[in-house]
Amino acid sequence: MERLYSDHFPISLSGNVRRARKKPFRFEKMWLKVDGFGERVRTWWMSYDFRGSPSYVLDCKLKALKIDLKRWNEELVGDVNHCKTQCLSVIEELDRREESRGLTGEERVTRGELREELERLVEMEEITWRQKSRIKWLKEGHKCTRFFHRVANFNRRNNSINMLKVEGVTFEDLHEIGTQMVSLYQNLYQEQFDWRPELEGLEFSSISEEEAS
């Protein structure tokens, strides 16, 4: 565009063109609240038959499981918010009937079951929103805000080690704690064996030093 008062040229961008993006697969924690979910997944997993290396079979099974989970979610679970609205509408209708003419025994049982279902749907919706909020925080939570620094400082305080007990001895000095931790990993990655088996007298296929060079 034209340059007016600044020594920079302003640029106008048009973002009207939208490209359809493939929706990424995401495991929904609310699925764990559906009766028989674990057994259903186990049945799917055992029904897959792929041939190849263990890593290839695992990859193929995970892809097949993703497809089945998507289809199952669309056909049986559906939109939790829509199911909750329908359930609440039927409960309200039964409440109105109770005020006008009373409810039959069957209608009371139905309303009790619907209330239990509504409670389960509300819990599933809450789990979904909690999961989405965490995803948003992972995407946008790196911004330099006061809230971010408060959370970071809080986590830093929780992650600090103020006391360490090693073989019954308690250490509270930071320098001593650091020394004990360094000693732990030095011993962990250090060999304790003074003797190694030798391979003298065994014939192996080899190449010459010239070929190796």
Tokens of 181: 């931790």
∠ Cα 73 59 78 (to 5°) = 5
Question: Of the segments 7-16, 47-56, 122-131, which one has the largest average pLDDT value?
Answer: 47-56
DSSP state of 167: T
Domain ranges for the chain, please list them: 29-148, 157-187
The whole-number pLDDT of residue 210 equals 92
- Over residues 81-92, the mean pLDDT reads 79
Q: DSSP alpha helices (H): ranges in 101-173?
A: 105-140, 146-159
Confidence of residue 41 (pLDDT cuts 50, 70, 90): very high
Tokens of 41: 């997944």
Task: Write the pLDDT tens digit of every residue in 131-181.
Answer: 666 655 555 555 556 666 666 666 566 667 888 898 889 998 889 989 999
Alpha carbon 53 to its chain centroid, in Å, reads 27
d(CA 168, CA 177): 14
d(CA 31, CA 9): 52
- Over residues 69-88, the mean pLDDT reads 76
Residue 164's DSSP bridge partners are 171
DSSP state of 169: E
Task: Write the pLDDT tens digit of every residue in 128-141.
Answer: 666 666 655 555 55
- Cβ atoms of residues 27 and 131 within 8 Å: no
